[in-house]
Structure 1
Amino acid sequence: MKKNSYPGKFIAFEGLDGSGQSTQVERLAKHLRRIYKDLPNKPSVYATKEPSTGVFGGFIREGLRERWRYGQIHGPLMMQALFVADRAHHLENEIIPNLIKGNTVITDRYAFSTIAYGAAEDRELWDCLIAMNKTFLEPDITVFLKARPESSMNRMKKSREHLELYEKEAMLKRVFSNYVKLSQIYKSFRTVNGECSISEVSREIRAVIEKEFDLKQ
């Protein structure tokens, strides 16, 4: 993946469904906005997510909710190809324009989700999925919220009426193993214990970001 050479900072959150990425993205964005308001250049914080709100993202969300038959798109490779197309659109229209402006971009999921989830369905796709994402920007920091599959499943069962396509425990175990493998390959990964309380996880994330970006309070 390509190094971020833009003036803005790029942060991605990764982890199993139910590990709390969305909550932590919101909390980190709020925290950074408080810090940035006292800086001379006052950068903005742009929080986003994948699937995006673009045309590909909408189609993907329908598929994750199983509102169209998965077999219609010929399995995991085609599904992840849709995520890659959505990511290209997301980068071009949202992420890179904000990085050019010097803003900090925080995304709830990114390229590593494609690799972890796609290869969990078919392990022979690992190299192919890495190659499909090779030309994209690597985040400055990838926060991996490490939560065991059983913990993530318990959280989802308590908070959701309907589980989506990938939200099965056997599947999540394979995804978890893939994330651990990715964390050993990509230098941007910072692993955070996702099984602590929301506040404890937030504090650990803030400490990581402040250290990496040399943010003094």
Structure 2
Amino acid sequence: MFISFEGIDGSGKSTQARRLAEHLRALGREVVLTREPGGSPGAEEIRALVLRGDPDRWSAETEILLFTAARRDHLERTILPALAAGKVVICDRFADSTRMYQGLSRGDLRGIVDQLHALMIGREPDLTILIDMDPALGLARAKGRGGVEERFEDFGAGLQEQMRAGFLALAGEFPDRFRVIDGGRAVDEVAQDVAELAARERL
């Protein structure tokens, strides 16, 4: 099964992806934990280009092309081989993030994102877990991490609010794939909900 975690910056989705991987491994499942952008050598190089530097470094159109290129390499070299080997793939972000951050936030480019996705990727996760979070709290958490990959956090609270609304709209658009979990609680409580969800999905 191919599982993605989505959410605004600082929502805790990366932590929950790791916790689910640990939980499933403890149950004897083979798990590949990966991330986007990144997850393969070529995609990690693109990650360094898109997540660092000035917020206006790239146009939204250029970002869509870069993210799609990274995703294609990730799919070919990491995701599809792992699925073919019978492993569970857990990915911290996938195409839904591009639909939001490039397709919605910086112009009405969702159609371009979906066209490129259909042409070059052609695969959705089997299950997408959306960790929902108050935008102000998420941004505070994200900025508190520090580090060099803060380009999208630097767009500010307005982007976070827009992204939360967009992700919830996506969950309504794809109800068979999305499950929404409240991320505004203790990490262990959220992880328990995710584990229970995995059990219901027969992982």
1:198 — aligned with what?
Answer: 187
- Contact persistence 1:10–1:105 (CA under 8 A): yes
Amino acid at match of 1:14: E
Runs of 4+ in 1 over 4 A off after TM superposition: none
Contact 2:105 2:159 in 1 (8 A): yes
RMSD: 1.9
Counterpart selection for 1:171 from 143, 159, 165: 159
Q: Displacement of 1:156 after TM fit? A: 1.9
Distance across 2 between alignment mates of 1:21 and 1:180: 15
Aligned pair partner of 1:145 in 108, 117, 131: 131
Q: Of 165, 190, 212, which residue of structure 1 is paired with 2:201? A: 212
- Tell me the amino acid that sits aligned with residue 169 of structure 2: K
Contact 1:51 1:83 in 2 (8 A): yes
Q: Secondary structure at the match of 2:151?
A: coil
Aligned-partner Cα distance in 2 for 1:197–1:151:
13
Partner deviation per Cα, 1:137-157 (whole Å, 9 max, x = no partner): 211110000012111012123
Deviations 1:8-50 (A, max 9, x none): x1110000111111111111111001112xxxxxx41110111
SS in 2 for 1:102: coil
In structure 2, the gaps of 5 or more residues are none
Mapped to 2, the partners of 1:77 and 1:94 lie a distance apart of 25
Distance 1:205 1:108 in 2: 14
Could you tell me how far apart the structure 2 residues matched to 1:17 and 1:115 are?
Answer: 15
TM-score between the two structures when normalised by the length of structure 1: 0.84
Q: 2:170 aligns with which of 164, 174, 182?
A: 182
Query: Residues 42 and 73 of structure 2 are in contact (CA less than 8 Å); yes or no, is this contact kept in structure 1?
Result: no
In 1, Cα distance between the equivalents of 2:60 and 2:180? 27
Unaligned runs of 5+ in 1: 1-8, 37-42
Q: Structure 2 CA distance, aligned partners of 1:11 and 1:107?
A: 6
- In structure 1, what residue type is equivalent to 2:125? P
**C-alpha displacement of 1:80:** 1.7
Match of 1:35 in 2: 27
Structure 1 distance, partners of 2:68, 2:148, is 25
Structure 2 equivalent of residue 103 of structure 1: 87
- SS of 1:142's equivalent? strand
- The CA distance in 2 between the partners of 1:151 and 1:197, in whole Å, is 13
Q: Which one is further off, 127-136 or 61-70?
A: 61-70
Aligned to 2:16: 24
Q: Give the 3 Å change call, closer, same or farther, for CA 68–120 of structure 1 in structure 2.
A: closer
Give % identity. Answer: 31
CA change 1:161–1:78 in 2 (3 A) is closer
Contact 1:193 1:201 survives alignment (8 Å): yes
Q: TM-score, normalised by structure 2?
A: 0.89
* Structure 1 residue 79, shift from structure 2 partner: 0.6
Residue 120 of structure 1: how far off its partner (Å):
3.4
Which structure: larger Rg? 1
Contact 1:119–1:178 under 8 Å retained in 2: no
